[in-house]
Amino acid sequence: MIWSLLVFAGLNFAAALSGAIFKPDDWFRRLNKPSWQPPDWAFPIVWMVLYGINAFSGWVVWKLAGLDGIGLLAMAIYGAALVLNASWSAVFFGLKRLGAASANSALLWLSIAAQIAVFYQIDALAGLILLPYLLWVTVATVLSTTVWRHNPASPMEAA
């Protein structure tokens, strides 16, 4: 039983690695960002908590539903959300594609909303504990889109 929880923690850790590989750099520091952007130190703390919640929630749903019927749908959505989550840092910080990162963030938001809806059907708590994740990605999506709008001439965006 503990091994399956470690698998879910490992999957979330793997998604988090993208943020460790593709980090803010001088290009990012030069971008015009809104005054309401959370401080840099908040991001790793919040993400660590959210990845932990996401791992636990996924594990609970997998334990209850497995890969049959709605369980398969739940795990497919879960996997898609992790891929979208991991790819955001690569698109934003790695490729420096602000518009694509904003689209990625919007798709991540939709995948988390779908994850909550499906998880809730299997276990209400497993769905509800993901609401902070959706809230944070809401803020991140607005932030990403605002940075894109404030930096329309980003040199990498046109390339």
Domain CATH code at residue 117: 1.20.1260.100
What is the band of 155 on the pLDDT scale with cuts at 50, 70, 90?
A: low
The amino acid at 151: N
Which domain, by its residues, includes 18?
2-28+39-158
Q: What is the CA radius of gyration of the chain?
A: 16
Domains of the chain: total: 1
The answer on pLDDT for 8 being more than 50 is yes
Q: Distances from the Cα of 111 to the Cαs of 35, 85, 153, 155, 157, in angstroms?
A: 28, 10, 29, 30, 25
* pLDDT (0 to 100) of residue 159: 44
Within a domain: 73: yes
Count other C-beta atoms under 10 Å from residue 139's C-beta: 13
Within a domain: 33: no
* pLDDT (0 to 100) of residue 158: 46
What is the band of 156 on the pLDDT scale with cuts at 50, 70, 90?
A: low
Look up residue 107 and give its two tokens: 């798709």
The pTM assigned to this predicted structure is 0.92
Within a domain: 64: yes
- Residue 47 dihedral angles phi and psi, to the nearest 5°: -65, -35
Within a domain: 112: yes
